[in-house]
Structure 1
Amino acid sequence: MSSIPAELKYSAEHEWISSAEAEGVVRIGITDFAQDALGEVVYVEHPEVGATVAAGDVVGEVESTKSVSDIFAPVAGEITAVNEELDDKPQVINSDPYGAGWLFEVKLADASGIDDLLSAEDYTQQVG
């Protein structure tokens, strides 16, 4: 069974979202379930820092030995950072999807956007 940390929120598209920091910034990555389904990750296309995104927008992609998968913005806001370490070591997504394998950070346009996301329990039911 995949690891699904209780303190995170989740999207139906298999992204995880951290709780907002004081500045309203959240960190986003793909779930353990998603990285397992993808297989060995070989490339990550990052969103553009400074870009404004709406919830549900495609902001990048993750390429694996099996397939290419879109990365969606689970919340609306401004991209404030991307994990550039993934340029040289994309496989970190496989080994540490909730830690060093994070993808990007967003300054929330509206903090209530997180309320629309899935709890760990809801996500667990979705993925079985």
Structure 2
Amino acid sequence: ILTGGALPYAVGAGAVLVITLLYTSLGGMRATMWTNVFQGTVFLGLMVAATAWIAGDLGGPAAAMEWVAAERPELLVKASGGDMAPGPWASWGLAIALTVIAFPHILVRLFAARDARALKNACRL
């Protein structure tokens, strides 16, 4: 897309792969951490920008809330009560436990901790 087809997809993907391998191999976990900080900053900035843009298109935050109140008032009601039966607890417990499968990179970072102090700091985050 960026090159208008002048650069084949495989070449671009290969270049990203080589750069990532070199950067991670040479920089180690510290380089990976800085990559995560950069990505997190970009994503947070884009989220704030998108929220501001959408709210602006709706006439500002107050107008956006008025629109929600008029169109979907149930979204502004605090949920109360709730089913404390074993079924929902079991399904949420299973969902949370199986979510670990989707985050192997988190486990790798925990296993790569150099000492107990670093491991505790990683777990706090």
Q: Greater relative contact order (Cα 8 A, min sep 6): structure 1 or 2? A: 1
* Structure showing the higher strand proportion among its residues: 1
* Structure showing the higher helix proportion among its residues: 2
Rg (Cα) greater in structure: 2
Q: TM-score range by the shorter chain?
A: under 0.3
| TM-score between the two structures when normalised by the length of structure 1 | 0.20
| TM-score between the two structures when normalised by the length of structure 2 | 0.20
